[in-house]
Amino acid sequence: MSSVYEQFSRVLHCNSSEQSRLVLALSGGIDSRVMLHLLSRFIRETGREAAAVHIHHGLSAHADLWAEQCRQWCKDVGIPFQLHPVSLDRHAKGGLESIARQARYEALQHYVGANDVLLTGQHSYDQVETFLLALKRGSGPKGLSSMGEVAEFGAGKLLRPLLKLSRPEIEAFAERYQLDWVEDESNQDIHFDRNFIRHKISPVLMQRWPELPAAVQRSAELCAEQEALLDELLEQQLDFAMLSDGSLSVSVLLSFSEAVCRRVLRMWLSRCDVLMPSRLQLLALYHQVIQAKEDADPHLNLGHRTIRRFAGKLYCVSPVEDVSEWQQDISFNQSLELPDQLGLITLRECDEGALSREKLVGMSLKISFNPQGLSACPVGRCGSTKLKKLFQEYRVPVWQRRRMPILMAGEQVVAIARLFVDRDFTGSGCDLIWKTDRI
């Protein structure tokens, strides 16, 4: 049984520093319960800092009891306990299993800071299930690499110290130390794909080939090595295609073969922290967005992000609030906090500046985001032009056009922050200053 603790401590010593805080994802099931026992011994021997987090999904009638049991176990061994409730949309796409898993990991990120390590209890039999699920989906090397013993997670990292141990080894350890744990009744529901594999497929395979978990682990590691090698070989192409604002050059992408282009796209999406697209989504991104006509406004939704093409660039855009109806009065030397984290805007008096203070004095000034029906004449031009046309000429992406602060004097456009000043209000004495990290 000492081999269980030796495996656990080896993974922690090799993949964390003495300053790393250890955060245990404690569901209360046998795997995480064994991990709590191992963690308590580890911190006694090393003096390391640790905590446990229980994610309360509320899916079972016993969920409150499980949470309280986890709290008591942590109290018994002196490990700080955190309870984190989550609400699940049972009707969302992707199935309840996937939704619950995603919500769980999103919640756990709140507890993992820089240099922190999240510990989860997956073992070799879980690896077999994950591998078979990926095979069922028709995954390539990325999906078939399944779960790694070490992975990046939020600002820290994730460790699976039990990954090379079998379920029987963990059960035997729990029995030897007389550990009790909770049993989630949903684990018996074979309507869930993972449970179907666990109860109907894996036992047959294990009986025929007892060495299957070790073989699957080797295959998963080989797939992970191939993925890492591809990334290394194509990193130069990604850097060549990536522009200073984080977008990708469409012309550079199209200079690659389709296979290389799709791989570079996957690497870019990973850097953008976007959930990996399916093969069909990646094909749609290549054929319907990248190869769309020049005058089109193509886009593809990937989870909570949208991939858009504009002016020869490919952008990864986060969801934003519609602020087009927001408006507020502004005075000289006043800073307004703009909506949806758009920063601060100030109409600042100064010796130079690009705006005529003399022409603005006494006028009703406000900040707006709605360009509908408005026109302006930027300095150096003749005649008034619709803002829609000006945005096109200044090559402002479509999704940013209703997020550019417009300074209005009555019904007249005075300036658009960072873009232009209207000819009728050019001069000196004040300036429009917009400070933000996000457009």
Cα 120 to Cα 162: distance, rounded to the nearest angstrom: 8
Token pair, residue 343, equals 């920063």
Q: Which residue has the tokens 């109907």?
A: 200
- DSSP per position, 42-63: HHHHH---EEEEEEE---STTH
Angle of CA points 53, 54, 55, to nearest 5°: 115
E strands present in 140-252 = 150-153, 156-159, 248-249
* Radius of gyration, CA atoms only, the chain: 28
**Residue type for 272, please?**
C
Is 170 known to sit in a ligand binding site? no
- Does the annotation place 29 within a ligand binding site? yes
By the 8 A CB rule, do 119 and 37 touch? no
Q: Does the annotation place 31 within a ligand binding site?
A: yes
What is the C-alpha to C-alpha distance for residues 326 and 406, in angstroms, rounded to an integer?
11
On whether the CB atoms of residues 51 and 21 are closer than 8 A, the answer is yes
Q: Is 78 annotated as a binding residue?
A: no
Label residue 394 exposed, middle or buried (CB < 10 Å: 0-12, 13-18, 19+).
Answer: middle
Which residues belong to the annotated binding site?
27-32
Which residues belong to the annotated binding site for ATP?
27-32
